[in-house]
Amino acid sequence: MTDFAGRHVIVTGASSGIGLATARLLVARGAKVSMIARRAEVLAERVDEMGARNAAAFAADVGDRAKLEDAIAAAVHKFGPVYGLFANAGLAGNFAPATDYPSDLFEKILKVNLTSVFWAMQAVLPAMIEAKSGSILITGSMASKRGMAMNPAYVASKHGVLGLSRAIAVEMAPHNVRCNCIIPGFIETPAFDLIPEEQKGKIEGRVPQRRMGSADELAEVAVFMLSPAASHVTAQDWAVDGGTLETLEV
């Protein structure tokens, strides 16, 4: 069942889009949810809007290891040991030719999208191993499975999190700790509001279902993968993309 029965789940990138939708659904399914994001005021507003005792905000930039670890420690202090981690925070990066791509931006994207996920894992895994129970889910991308021109940092980071999820899944399987990767397709999030309507139409035309997905649709899959209902599911990647990934060249 996807009833979390008071289990503590941490969600990063929780102030909007996929992270917020998943946090809301986790709360509705009975989880105690610690929401981490950079924007303290926005994050606090989202928690207030939810009006739930079992949700709390912990502002931190996941790219800052000390602040991320402090936020996780504060979350554990409030809600107890962590059963689930949804490592969702990430940056898209800039589009530029590989020969001109700024090295400092490359390093920043890798730190936020990949290294911070490993930091978060290191913070929560000891307690999961001790409890012999835990579930980790990482937000990947279609760029985890396919190449993409002009954005080497993003593609490298998203290939990286898929590999990381598989490595951790295999190592943690004897401890009954699972790790999986969710692959969003074209999902309607605040970022898509900035896209001109004619471009949105072109994007929808690339999806076999002829529409973009919603954050709520992705959240349903994310919550299932985090939940005890998926107790025999680990080392997997699950695309929520309306069939788009299968239409892209390898």
38-46: long-range contacts, CB 8 A cutoff, minimum separation 24: 38/62, 39/15, 42/15, 42/16, 43/14, 43/15, 46/14, 46/15, 46/16, 46/20
Instruction: State whether residue 136 is helix, strand or coil.
Output: strand
154 is catalytic: yes
Residue 215 carries which side chain, given as an amino acid letter? A
Sheet containing strand 84-87, strands side by side: 55-59, 32-37, 8-12, 84-87, 134-139, 177-184, 237-240
In this structure, the chain runs to a length of 250
Phi, psi of 73 (to 5 degrees): -60, -40
Phi, psi of 137 (to 5 degrees): -130, 130
In sequence order, the 6+-apart residues with CB closer than 8 A to the CB of 226 are: 9, 26, 84, 86, 135, 137
Instruction: State whether residue 72 is helix, strand or coil.
Output: helix
Cα separation, 13 vs 100, whole angstroms: 29
Give the side-chain half-sphere CA count within 13 A for 50: 28
- Catalytic member of 79, 154, 186, 238: 154
Instruction: List residues with catalytic annotation.
Output: 154
